[in-house]
Amino acid sequence: MFPEYVKVPEKMDVKPIELEASKSALIIVDMQNAFAHEKGRLFVPESRKTIEPIKKLLEKARSKNVSVIYTQDWHQKDDPEFSVWGEHAVAGTWEAEIIDELKPIDGDVLIKKLRYDGFYGTYLDDVLRMRKIENTVITGTVANICVLHTAGSAALRGYKVVIPIDCISALSMFDYISTLRQVTFLYRGLLTTHEGIRFV
């Protein structure tokens, strides 16, 4: 029914970018034990490769007083999403916590969410508006699910979306590439790397 191969779209540009620190937010999506720890029930193996790049970007952001925002899957025991993915990231459990390597510090914002989109039913947009944020640098996992839905929602609200390609992860290369395609094609997002971002 499906072709044996899928042609990758034209090359997507990955360029260095300079962002005004006071108008930028680094959003770290769902880097929780459920997804980014080997013992997590929905472990994404590729997520381990993104930890160091995200950590370096986090250090760069904090050194320039960039707003740092984490999203966390935060489910109740009877969450209907469990019919799709099975039980995971139950509120208050080890799985729901951010991995040790990327622990939040005082001043960081934690957004607890029930669905894929970091904006849906949360106060994320309020935080960004109050801080006069214009640029969202979105990292984390899973690329084609929570990262993509959050990026799309940010773009539809008028925020510039920047994706460091070495700071997102997916369960397959198809999912990873298709995420980059959607972000650039649908939402006019910009692609870079953790090293390519300069906060000024």
Assess whether 167 carries a catalytic annotation. Answer: no
The answer to whether residues 87 and 80 touch, using CB atoms and an 8 Å cutoff, is no
Stated pTM of the model: 0.95
CB atoms within 10 A of CB 155: 18
Give me the pLDDT at residue 3, please. 74
Which of 73, 79, 117, 146 is an active site residue?
A: 146
- Positions of the chain with pLDDT under 70: none
Topology of domain 17-199, CATH? Rossmann fold (3.40.50)
Q: Where are the domains of the chain?
A: 17-199
Per-residue model confidence (pLDDT) at position 91: 94
What is the structure's pLDDT at 85?
A: 92
Q: Residue 2's pLDDT is what?
A: 74
pLDDT tens digits for 144-167? Answer: 999 999 999 999 999 999 999 999
DSSP secondary structure string for all residues of 31-66: -BHHHHSTTSTT--TTHHHHHHHHHHHHHHHHHTT-
| Annotated active-site residue in 73, 113, 117, 167 | 113
pLDDT for 131 equals 98
113 labelled catalytic: yes
pLDDT at 189: 97
